[in-house]
Structures are given as C-alpha cells and as structure tokens.
Structure 1
Amino acid sequence: MKQFLSFVTKEFYHIARDKRTILILLGIPIVQIILFGFAITTEVKDIRMAVFDPSKDEVTQKIIDKLDANEYINVVSVIDHPEDIESAFRKGKADIAVIFNQHFSDNYRHTGEASVQLITDGTDPNTASILTGYVTNILMAAQQEINVQYKSPLSITPEVKLLYNPGMKGAYNFVPGVMGLILMLICAMMTSISIVREKEMGTMEVLLVSPMKPIYIIVAKAIPYLVLSCINIITILLLSVYVLNVPVAGSLTLLFGISLLFILVSLTIGLLISTIVKTQVAAMLASGMVLMLPTILLSGMIYPTENMPFLLECITHIIPAKWYIICVKKIMVEGLGFTFVLKEVGILLVMATVLLIISLKKFNDRLE
C-alpha cells in the first residue's frame, strides 16, 4: 500500500511540474463555464426599433410610448416614408419595424379592430421569433390599457413580415456560420499542425537549408490548404443551393473573394500558432480550444453577439469568423453589394496584415 501511495504522489508531482497540464485541467473548465454561462442566452436586449406612423394620433402615440418604455426596446428612428423601412435594415440601423396604418385611431374606435405590421430580419429565425414575441406581448398590454380607458373591447392584430427569409428556414442562419467554422479549422489547424510536424520530426531544418527562402517554404505548405478550402467553399455553396434551398442572392464573385480573404486570415493564424507551440498535440489543442469554441460561441454563428455581457461582446470583435459570417449573410442571404460590407472587409484586411507581420517576425526570430 505504501508503494502504491508513493506512485500516486509521484503522479501528482509530475502534473504539478507541468504548467500546461495544470492549465488544461483547471483553466479550461473555468473558461468553458464562463463562455457557456454568459454566451448562451435566449434573451434579446437593446432592440433597435423603427416606427412608421402616418396616423400620428393619440392611440398610436400611447402604443409607441409603451414600446419605448420597455427595458429591452429603444425606438431609434421614426420613418417618414415606407420605402425607408428596408433601407434601415440593409444599413443595420433597425432590428424590427412597427408599421401603423392610416387613420389608426378612427379605425380602432369605429370598427373595434386595427392592424399593426411588424417587420423584422428573418436571416436569424430564432431571434426574429423572439423579437416579434416581445413586441406582440407589449402590444397586447397596450391594448388592455386602451380598452380600460375607452371602456370598449377593441382589438389590435399584429401582422408579421420576415425580410429575406419568409419561410423561417434555419439553414439561412447556420450555413454562413458553418462556412466560417470549417474554413477557420481547416486553414488554421491543419496549417499549424503541418508546420509543427516538420519541426517535431527535425525535417524543418533540412527544408530551411535548401536554396528556397523560408517564406516560400511556408507559402508552399499553405497552398494545399488554400486549394482544399476553395473546394470546400464550392461544395458548401452547391449543397446550400441545391439541397438546403438557400439561394445566393448577391454576387457569387464577391462572396468567393471575401471567402479567400478570410482563408488568408485563417492561414496566418495557423502560422502564428506554429511559431508558438512545439508539438503537434499542442498545436491541435491550441487550434481546437482557442479557435473552435470562440468561433462557435462568440462569432454570432448560433447566438447574437449583441446580447452578450459587455466584456464578452468586446472579445467578439477580435474573432475573425464574426466579420466573415456578417459578410456572408449580407451577400448570400440579403443580396447586398460591396458597399454594405466595406467595414467588415476592412477589418478582415487589417487582421490579415497584422497577423501576417507578427507571424513572419516570430518565425524569423525562431530561425535566428
């Protein structure tokens, strides 16, 4: 028994000496519970609402005040022309629009019924359902208050319209997310593992003493994964269009070009990981834990980033997949052009440049 206990004690000493093992055993569970606890939420906060009210009477003003008083809703704009409604969604200035009809109060009092149209973005069906549910409940509460005031059983009927995805198909939301996840993992993980494999097996030195410059060696190792990623993009798009019935509403050339930019960002991340770690196992852990979980939880692939706590929302801004997924949704689902994704493309370009400079510098430092 004494020998058994001594072996157990020895194992504890081995684990205590290995800081990376301690980090994996004790640090990762803390990170996961924080991410899953705060990132996974069905609440929708800070809802930006646009209102079109041609009637401008006492009843519509009461309803608008009731909506604006809700802690989750902010009436950010009052629209003067119906054609400006879709423009507000295209520019990302509104999450939901409430449309009152002409002579709303007169119809309400004389016929006992009045309709309110709710327009929201259907690219994320879950969020769209939650938004319309919130607003519908507030409208019902406003209806009860107005009925008490006028002492009559009047009825407000919400009519819901979903832009870009009237059928509320979930594929419209998860296809862009899956594209971002696959490209990130294939490019970053496989690039880092392939380079680290050469260092671990001792063949990197042989490659580096060849007449070819080190940068060409790195590019040569990255090109196969670039080609495979392009094949994956084509495969995903073909399956999306012909199997899942998700149309490419915008420019296919623009979508492919932005995908190539995102692939470049992912490849530079893989190169950076390869300069930090020394073994293939470490490269796989770094790629899987540092890239996969944040990409799934903090990129907007499943849960809207706007609903997360402030600190996590700030972290989402440095996740490349977030900006790529936004681009794909705007081009593929909403059918928007290049001018509507300038911000996201600019951020991805800056990320690619910064990551490439840092990666090459660290790679050269290791050679010296």
Structure 2
Amino acid sequence: MKQLFTFVRKEFLHVLRDKRTLLVLFGMPVVQILLFGFALSTEVKNTKIGILDQDGSQRSVELVAKINANQYFDLDENLKSIQEAENTFKSGRIKMIVVIPSGFSENLINGKKTQIQLISDATDLNLANQIYSFMSNITMDFYNQQTLQPHVGIQPEIRMLYNPQLKGAPNFVPGVMALVLLIICVLMTAIAIVREKETGTMEVLLVSPMKPYVIILAKAIPYFILSVIILISILVLSVSVLDLPIKGNVFLLFGISIIFIITNLLIGIVISILTDTQQTAMLISLIGTMLPTLMLSGFMFPVENMPVPLQIAGNIIPAKWYYEIVKNIMIKGTGLEVIWKQVAVLLGMMAVLFVIAVKKFRIRLE
C-alpha cells in the first residue's frame, strides 16, 4: 500500500508540473459549460423581427406592444411596405416579419376569423420553427384576450414540464458532463500509460518490486481524483452561473457519476494496453469514444430520429446511459426507481471492461 501511495504521489506531481495538461483539465470544463450554456443555447431570446402594420388601429398597436414586451423578440423594424419588408429580409437584419392586415381590428371586434401573416427566414429551419411557435402562441393569447365573442372550439393549453422557460442549459449541461468526464478519463489515462511504454520506462517499472496492476492503478487514481474535482466544479457552475438547480438526490447523482468515471478509466486502460504510441491512443480515444458520444448519445441529436442500426450502436456507448441518468436526476428529480435500468447497464459495462482489461493486461504486459 505504501508503494501505491508513493507512485500515486509521483503521478500527481507529474500532472501538476505539466501546465498545459492542467489548463486542459480545469479550463476545458469551464469553457464548455459557459459555451454550451450561453453561446450555443437553443433558446429563442431577443430575436430581431419586423412589423408591417397595414391596419394602424388601436388594437394592432396593442398587439405590437405585446410582441415587443416579450423577452423572446426584439422589434427592430417598423416596416411601411412589402418591398421594404423584402429588402429587410435580404439584408439579414431580422428573422421574422409580422404582417397585420387591414381590417384586423374590425374582424377582431366582430369575432370574425382574423389572420396575421408570419413570414420567417427559413435558412435556419430549426430557428424558424421555434420563432413561429412562440409568435403563434403570443398572437393566439392576444386574440383570446381581445375578442368580444366567446371562442368556439378547442383551445389547447400548452405546458412545458421540467423546463417551462425553454432554457438551453438543461439540455447541454448533462451532455457536457458526460463529454468532459469522458475526455479526461479516457484520453488522459490512455496517453499517460502509453507514454511510459513509448519512452521505455514501462519495462523498468514492470521489473520493479511493484505488481503490474498496482502500476496501472496508480496511473489511474490521479485522473479519478481530478475527475471528481472537475465533476464538482461543473455542478457548482451549473447551479451558480447557469441557474440550473439539481432537483434530484445529489448523492445519487454523485455516486452514479463515480461509476461512469470508473467505466471511462477502464476504457482508457484498455486503449493503453492495446496501443504502443500516444498518437494511436489519441486517435482511438477521439474517434472511438468522443465522436460517438457527440453523435449517438442523444446529446446533440435526438436518438429517435436516427436509423435503427445507429440507435442500436448507440446503446454500447456509456455516455448515452449516463446522459439519460443525469437528465432524470438533475432536471426531472427522479430517483433510482426510474433510472435503475441505466445504472445496471453502466455497472455491466464497467464489469465487462474490467474483465477485458485484466485479460489483455496479462497477455500484453506480463
């Protein structure tokens, strides 16, 4: 045990002396959390729009004021004609034009069918659909408030559970947690062990009195501790900066995160055993783990929209299951009774990777 602590201390000193590694380890989580939480947010906020009011009545002015007062839109242009609206669209200054036709107020007073034209810039289809949905809700709410006759028919009531403000952070934070922990555990661990093999010092360590598995364990422990520290920092940033409270059990989230960290460390150890150069280990880590996590885990793209073969392939990615777990605990506030299947899958992956690591370790290093 004393030898293990000595070797772990040596590895910590090695990591702490490498300023570039420290910058990656502690700078990357902060940058990604802030980047995904703010710059890459999918929220509709302060979107510039134009208004072409052909009615000019008191009620049309009230509608414009209601739209302008909403946090989702920022009135940038009061347009005078269709030609001016078209030119404004081409300039790219606005993303939508709301056309209020003549007779708008009269139809509204008489309870007749009242149409408002919403023209969106569909070069960004997702944004156009979001803007249209928000604007439709605003205009429908205005109509229900202003009409003097009861609205006949079914009026749906829209409720957004768990994320009523439609913020981007609840979607990105769980994915960033999975991605950051994956990179640190897999990439850093694989490179750290392969570096010893590449420089020839691994053979020297293996002929020392220390058991080979102790050497591998000592290599992994520093990155385990650093991953835990980074996990805590991500959670603190999420709560304090992105205003994303953890609705579920924090200790449950922390415990499952430990399982995910160990699973990724085992992936890094397996990669390090199967490779002989840092470049190979880096390529396998990035292409074999990072890209599938981004593409197939549901973090960036909905899994349901993918072809069935890709959905099946995504099931072998630990980050997919961890992403689902984090969303359930942090956003929905669910407990183990809901996520036990995902936890069981992670535990199974950890056990399988441990067996593979032990067997391959004996074949390649003993």
Pairs within 5 Å for 1:238-249: 238-249=236-247
Residue 339 of structure 1 corresponds to which residue in structure 2? Answer: 337
Q: Does 1:311 align with 2:309?
A: yes
Equivalent residue, structure 1, for 2:181: 183
Question: Where does residue 235 of structure 1 map in the other structure?
Answer: 233
Structure 1 residue 155: Cα displacement: 4.0
Aligned to 2:209: 211
Q: Which residue of 2 aligns with 1:299?
A: 297
Structure 1, residues 81-135: CA drift from partner, whole Å, max 9, x if none?
xxxxxxxxxxxxxxxxxxxxxxxxxxxxxx999xxxxxxxxxxxx89x88x96xx
2:279 is paired with a residue of what secondary structure?
helix
Aligned to 1:277: 275
Q: What is the TM-score of this pair, normalised by structure 1?
A: 0.59
Shift of 1:157: 2.3
Task: Give the match for residue 288 of structure 1.
Answer: 286
C-alpha separation in 2, matches of 1:306 and 1:331: 21
Structure 1 counterpart SS, 2:155: strand
1:259 positional shift: 0.4
Q: Distance in 2 between matches of 1:345 and 1:212?
A: 34
C-alpha deviation, 1:297, in angstroms: 0.9
Check if 1:220 corresponds to 2:222.
no
CA RMSD of aligned residues (A): 2.5
Note the C-alpha offset of 1:280: 0.3
Amino acid at match of 1:213: K
Displacement after TM superposition at 1:367 (Å): 2.0
Q: Deviations over 1:57-87 (max 9, x none)?
A: xxxxxxxxxxxxxxxxxxxxxxxxxxxxxxx
- Which residue is equivalent to 1:55? none
User: Residue 354 of structure 1 corresponds to which residue in structure 2?
Assistant: 352
Structure 1 unaligned regions, length at least 5: 1-110, 114-125, 137-152
* Residue aligned with 2:156, SS: strand
Question: Structure 1 CA distance, aligned partners of 2:338 and 2:214?
Answer: 35
- State the one-letter code of the partner of 1:254: L
User: What is the CA–CA distance in structure 2 between the aligned matches of 1:363 and 1:263, rounded to whole Å?
Assistant: 20
Higher deviation after alignment, 239-248 or 158-167: 158-167
Per-residue displacement from partner, 1:271-315 (whole Å, max 9, x unpaired)? Answer: 111111110011111111111111111111111112110110000
Q: Is the 8 A contact 1:112 1:155 kept in 2?
A: no
Deviation at 1:230, TM superposition (A): 0.5
Q: What corresponds to 1:193 in structure 2?
A: 191
Q: Which runs of 4+ in 1 moved over 6 A?
A: none
Aligned to 2:88: none
Count residues in correspondence: 228
Shift in Å, 1:360: 1.5
Counterpart AA for 1:355: L
Which residue in 1 is equivalent to 2:259?
A: 261
Deviations 1:23-43 (A, max 9, x none): xxxxxxxxxxxxxxxxxxxxx
Structure 1 residue 154: deviation in Å?
4.4
With over 3 angstroms needed to count, the CA separation of the structure-2 counterparts of 1:329 and 1:112, relative to structure 1, is farther
Instruction: Determine helix, strand or coil for the equivalent of 2:281.
Output: helix
What does 1:1-368 correspond to in 2, within 5 Å?
154-368=152-366
Matched residue, 1:83? none
Q: Hey, what's the Cα distance between the residues in 2 that align with 1:364 and 1:353?
A: 17
CA separation of 1:223/1:112 partners in 2, compared to 1, >3 Å: closer, same or farther?
Answer: farther
What is the match of residue 146 of structure 2? Answer: none
Question: Does the Cα contact within 8 Å between 1:297 and 1:303 map onto a contact in 2?
Answer: yes
* 1:364/1:157 CA distance change after superposition, 3 Å: same
Report the alpha carbon displacement of residue 158 of structure 1 after superposing the two structures with TM. 2.3
- Cα pair 1:192 1:271 within 8 Å, conserved: yes
Instruction: Measure, in 1, the Cα distance between the counterparts of 2:266 and 2:112.
Output: 63
Query: 3-state SS of the aligned residue for 1:342?
Result: helix
Structure 2 distance, partners of 1:215, 1:275, is: 12
Amino acid aligned to 1:345: V
Give me the whole-angstrom Cα distance separating, in 2, the residues matched to 1:257 and 1:340: 16
Three-state SS of the structure 2 residue aligned to 1:157 is coil
Deviation of 1:340 (Å): 1.0
Quote the Cα distance in structure 2 between the aligned partners of 1:154 and 1:313.
Answer: 44
| CA deviation profile, 1:176-203 (whole Å, cap 9, x unmatched) | 0000000001000011001100000000
For the residues of structure 1 that align with 2:307 and 2:205, how far apart are their CA atoms? 47
Distance 1:316 1:112, change over 3 A: farther
| Counterpart residue identity of residue 265, structure 1 | T
CA distance in 2, matches of 1:282, 1:367: 18
Deviation track 1:208-261 (CA, whole Å, cap 9, x = no partner) reads 111111111111000110011011111100110010000000111000000000
Q: Which whole-Å CA distance do the structure 2 matches of 1:330 and 1:161 have between them?
A: 19
Percent pairwise identity: 55
Does the CA-based 8 Å contact 1:112-1:154 persist in structure 2?
no
Q: Distance in 2 between matches of 1:328 and 1:238?
A: 15
Tell me the distance in 2 between the aligned counterparts of 1:205 and 1:275: 13
